[in-house]
Chain A
């Protein structure tokens, strides 16, 4: 059973994670940058969500037309929306991480134009990052911030409206603050936060 212990170190030159563990006798002191870790986490999250969108939602809803996907999936006996699947995964990961001493990070889906106000940015870094990824298509935002006495590396990745139903649902939702989204517009962002030693 592999057991790894991570210690995250931050310096002026680079932010890196020193990983030590018992993987094998040869591998005792590997290092990966915290940016690379955040990018890898996002790649996995985005790929899983994309697979759910394509292989489950697009296949069953749009191609085979055997079931619907709905925000009110329980009442409608429908599939959860891809964004809901992402949020549920985030909530479960955070719950599981609480029980793991060596795993300490968070990720959330936020927006400058949230349908649910709970998903609005709260920190200055989140606000700046969401604005940056919306105005600089194709680029990510990386920064550090200190919250409650702890230093964090914070990465923000654009979340783009890619299906007509995503865009139309947001535009028509009674609680939406923005009603002119188009396909391809950045509608929000994924915020990944990893604690680092400052």
Chain B
């Protein structure tokens, strides 16, 4: 995995305990990419972006093929209701590997909250 030094610093202003910190190095890397490029919409549901802390937003997504989620994040995607996911979150400088790492972290986060909900229920 190629790691660009300029993306290794998380935006502290955007950091939040709700964005659970993972143990693995690859997910930690994905978390930084996510904070810097995805959190602005996915952290708040801006423009109907699915929020990983909201299980109902991700129940149907976590079961999809990961290749499809990667493809949507890398190439961009217009959903059936015409919601737009911009290619690479609008940052054309992100590599495929960096985008995939961010997707992996978002899935980790979504699964964390889905399991938490299952536990409560």
Which A residues have a C-beta under 8 Å from some C-beta of B?
A: 50, 53-55, 58-59, 62-63, 135, 137-138, 160, 162-164, 167, 182-185
Closest 5 CB pairs of A and B: A184-B40, A183-B90, A162-B47, A54-B82, A58-B82
B81: chain A residues within 8 A (beta carbon): 54
Question: Which of A58, A59, A162 is close to B46, meaning CB atoms less than 8 Å apart?
Answer: A162
A59: chain B residues within 8 A (beta carbon): 78, 82
Question: Which of B48, B84, B91 is close to A182, meaning CB atoms less than 8 Å apart?
Answer: B91
Question: Which of A50, A135, A163 is close to B86, meaning CB atoms less than 8 Å apart?
Answer: A163
Q: A50-B48, A54-B83 are in contact. Are A164 and B78 (CB under 8 A)?
A: no
CA distance A164 to B89 in the complex (A): 9
Q: Interface residues of A: mostly helix, strand, loop or mixed?
A: helix
B21: chain A residues within 8 A (beta carbon): none
B39: chain A residues within 8 A (beta carbon): 184
CA distance A59 to B43 in the complex (A): 25
CA distance A53 to B37 in the complex (A): 22
Q: B61-89, CB under 8 A of A: which get 1 and which 0?
A: 00000000000000000100111101101
Contact B47 A164 (CB under 8 A): no
Contact A62 B40 (CB under 8 A): no
Contact B46 A184 (CB under 8 A): yes
Which B residues have a C-beta under 8 Å from some C-beta of A?
A: 13-14, 37-41, 43-44, 46-48, 78, 81-84, 86-87, 89-91
- 14 CB contacts below 8 A, A to B, read A55-B82, A58-B78, A135-B13, A137-B14, A137-B44, A160-B41, A160-B47, A163-B90, A164-B90, A167-B90, A183-B91, A184-B40, A184-B46, A185-B40
A55: chain B residues within 8 A (beta carbon): 82
Contact A58 B40 (CB under 8 A): no
Which one of A54, A163, A167, A183 has the highest number of Cβ atoms from chain B below 10 Å of its Cβ? A183
CA distance A3 to B64 in the complex (A): 51
B46: chain A residues within 8 A (beta carbon): 160, 162, 184
B78: chain A residues within 8 A (beta carbon): 58-59, 62-63
A185: min CB distance to chain B, Å = 6
* Known interface pairs A137-B43, A184-B38, A184-B41; 13 further A-B residue pairs with C-beta atoms within 8 A, sorted by A's residue number: A54-B81, A59-B82, A63-B78, A63-B82, A137-B14, A160-B40, A162-B41, A162-B47, A163-B86, A164-B86, A182-B90, A183-B89, A183-B91
Contact B43 A138 (CB under 8 A): yes
B78: min CB distance to chain A, Å = 5
